[in-house]
Chain A
Amino acid sequence: MLRFVRGLVVGAAATLLISSAAMAQQAGSTLDTIIQRGKIVVGISLSTPPYGMTDASMKPSGFDVAVANLIARDLGVQLEIVDQVSQARIPNLTSNKVDIVVSSLGITAERAKAIMYTNSIYVDEQMVIAPAGTQIASLQDLVGKRVGVTRSTTNDTIITEKAVEGTNIQRFDDDAATNQALFSGQVDAIVSGVAAANAINAQTDQFQRKFAVRQSPMGIGVRRGDFDLRQWLNTEIMLLWNSGELQAAQKEWLGVVNKELPRF
């Protein structure tokens, strides 16, 4: 219950902040600020493996961290990572707490009202995962079932939007809790990304992917109106793609390499 209230409150506060996001736009260019300061401040959720996590020596690692490192390297500045809970990703950006957000940030029309996205750095696929023995092949089959999902993620958005009436959606605070709910039978199925599915399969073969719900492209978030910075990042993403470094990071952390990335 407390969790629920907390989620609700964070959601409400975030909405409030998003609506006032336009006020928070800086006068100068963030790109200039970053170069003058000699440091880029990047918001990353460190509790979302394999995007943001900690390695065995408790240093930040993962796909988002790898991308942030490449960006800092090519800007010629130091990297400062700010850990953030997933609900704080957009408020952190719009209130100038961070310069950019590289935090498994799925691109949605709703979020794009509050922040700007760069071109995509990875395209995830959201899928339904359930015990191997169950017969689940479509959204219709989820009616009357308990479906777990991590709150404030695009997984949550998509299942909330697409679920057939009668589906019982249960939201958890992070991927570990969502997966644990599946392992312990508290939910009948979960909606998750490819990487999380791989993580489950690495531990047990009791669960399998049932069907894909949707593709979810992820981008880097910048403040609205920060065209300078967005343009530099788009250039950087193109260069990293051409040099193969972006694909290498995808392969290393996500176990999948996209054939192409949407540009817009």
Chain B
Amino acid sequence: MFQQYSLAHVQFMLTGLGWTVTLALIALVGGSIAGSVLTLMRVSSNAILSRIAQFYIFVVQGTPLLVTLFIAYFGASYVGFAVQPLVAIAVAFSFYAAAFLGDIWRGAIQSVPGGQHEGAHALGLSRVAAMRYIIIPQAIRIATPPTVGFFVQLIKNTSLASVVGIVELTRTAQIVSNATFKPLEVYLTAALFYFLVCFPITLFSRRLEKRLNV
């Protein structure tokens, strides 16, 4: 009944890895879009928009992702919405990522020295044009390391998706570990898979930083 840890198990974990990558992509895209909106609200000169964004960031940053996921999946059912697991994940992860990215990116934009704003103004650039050509290119360089760090963290957080029934990498590892009773070998394999996904991203971030530095 209990199996030897074999290639078939590793293949099964690869299907889990496929889900992990899919979830990560959903989270990255959804989080980036929502995060951009939140950033713009946060740096907006409209005090009400800025306050709403600030309040949102406070609430979501102070709530564990697992709870957000629970509310999006189970909670929504109780008030009458039949939510598919993937939809719940897309919503929960986007909301969660937006709160962090919104703050990271706001910080990056505001840390571009004030002289740059004034210079742009002196050259006759409009506020939008100054943002587009002067401020944001410099902010991207500042924002890259923390953004990538957060993305890597987000990828690893997709392991929470097993709560809503998605059999992603950590869940496949759990299943295999329980069928083979070889937790050390199985979880080391899972760790390697996570590393193989996250390491290239870190590497890419280094390159990007160097290129933007020139």
Does B179 lie within 8 Å of A49, measured CB to CB?
yes
Mark the stretch among A79-87, A107-115, A157-165, A238-246 that contacts chain B: A79-87
Q: Chain B at the A interface: mostly helix, strand, loop or mixed?
A: helix
**How distant is the Cα of A131 from the Cα of B183 in the complex, in angstroms?**
20
Give chain B nearest CB distance to A185 CB in angstroms. Answer: 14
Question: Which chain B residue lies CB-closest to A180?
Answer: B183
* Contact partner, A24, options B2, B78, B174, B175, Cβ 8 Å: B78
Q: Does A208 contact B (CB under 8 A)?
A: no
**How distant is the Cα of A201 from the Cα of B78 in the complex, in angstroms?**
44
Give chain A nearest CB distance to B87 CB in angstroms. Answer: 13
Q: Does A54 contact B (CB under 8 A)?
A: yes
Does B8 lie within 8 Å of A174, measured CB to CB?
no
For chain A, residues 178 to 207, give those with C-beta under 8 angstroms from any C-beta of chain B: 179-180, 199, 202-203
Does B1 lie within 8 Å of A49, measured CB to CB?
yes
Question: Which chain A residue lies CB-closest to B177?
Answer: A176
Does A176 lie within 8 Å of B178, measured CB to CB?
yes
Does A9 lie within 8 Å of B77, measured CB to CB?
no
Give chain A nearest CB distance to B15 CB in angstroms. Answer: 8
Inter-chain contact count A-B, CB under 8 Å?
100
Question: Which chain A residue lies CB-closest to B9?
Answer: A58
* Contact partner, A91, options B66, B74, B82, Cβ 8 Å: B74
**How distant is the Cα of A83 from the Cα of B178 in the complex, in angstroms?**
14
For chain A, residues 127 to 150, give those with C-beta under 8 angstroms from any C-beta of chain B: none
* Contact partner, B74, options A9, A17, A85, Cβ 8 Å: A17
Q: Which residues of B contact A177 (CB under 8 A)?
A: 177, 183
A residues contacting the other copy or chain, number (CB 8 A): 42
* Contact partner, A82, options B78, B163, B165, Cβ 8 Å: B165
Mark the stretch among A28-36, A92-100, A118-126 that contacts chain B: A92-100
**How distant is the Cα of A108 from the Cα of B64 in the complex, in angstroms?**
29
Q: Which residues of A contact B64 (CB under 8 A)?
A: 5, 9
For chain B, residues 166 to 185, give those with C-beta under 8 angstroms from any C-beta of chain A: 167, 171, 174-179, 181, 183-184
Given that A9-B67, A88-B163 are known contacts, is A57 also in contact with B8, CB under 8 Å in the complex? yes
**How distant is the Cα of A203 from the Cα of B74 in the complex, in angstroms?**
39
Q: Which residues of A contact B177 (CB under 8 A)?
A: 47, 174, 176-177
Given that A17-B74, A97-B77, A97-B165 are known contacts, is A56 also in contact with B178, CB under 8 Å in the complex? no
Q: Does A258 contact B (CB under 8 A)?
A: no
Candidate in B77, B165, B175 with the most chain A CB atoms within 10 angstroms: B175
Q: Does B70 contact A (CB under 8 A)?
A: yes
**How distant is the Cα of A49 from the Cα of B174 in the complex, in angstroms?**
11
Given that A53-B178, A57-B8 are known contacts, is A96 also in contact with B162, CB under 8 Å in the complex? no
Give chain B nearest CB distance to A138 CB in angstroms. Answer: 28
* Contact partner, A203, options B2, B163, B167, Cβ 8 Å: B2
Q: Does A46 contact B (CB under 8 A)?
A: yes
* Contact partner, B181, options A83, A84, A176, Cβ 8 Å: A176
Q: Does A1 contact B (CB under 8 A)?
A: no
Does A174 lie within 8 Å of B78, measured CB to CB?
no
Q: Which residues of A contact B178 (CB under 8 A)?
A: 47-49, 53, 174-176
Give chain B nearest CB distance to A176 CB in angstroms. Answer: 4
Give chain B nearest CB distance to A237 CB in angstroms. Answer: 24
Candidate in B3, B78, B82, B160 with the most chain A CB atoms within 10 angstroms: B78
A-B complex: 10 closest residue pairs judged by Cβ atoms: A95-B77, A47-B178, A58-B12, A176-B177, A13-B70, A176-B178, A95-B74, A47-B174, A47-B175, A91-B74
What are 6 A-B pairs at a CB distance below 8 A? A10-B70, A91-B74, A174-B177, A175-B178, A176-B177, A176-B183
Seen from chain B, the residues whose Cβ lies within 8 Å of a Cβ on chain A are: 1-3, 6, 8-9, 11-12, 64, 66-67, 70, 73-75, 77-78, 82, 160, 162-165, 167, 171, 174-179, 181, 183-184
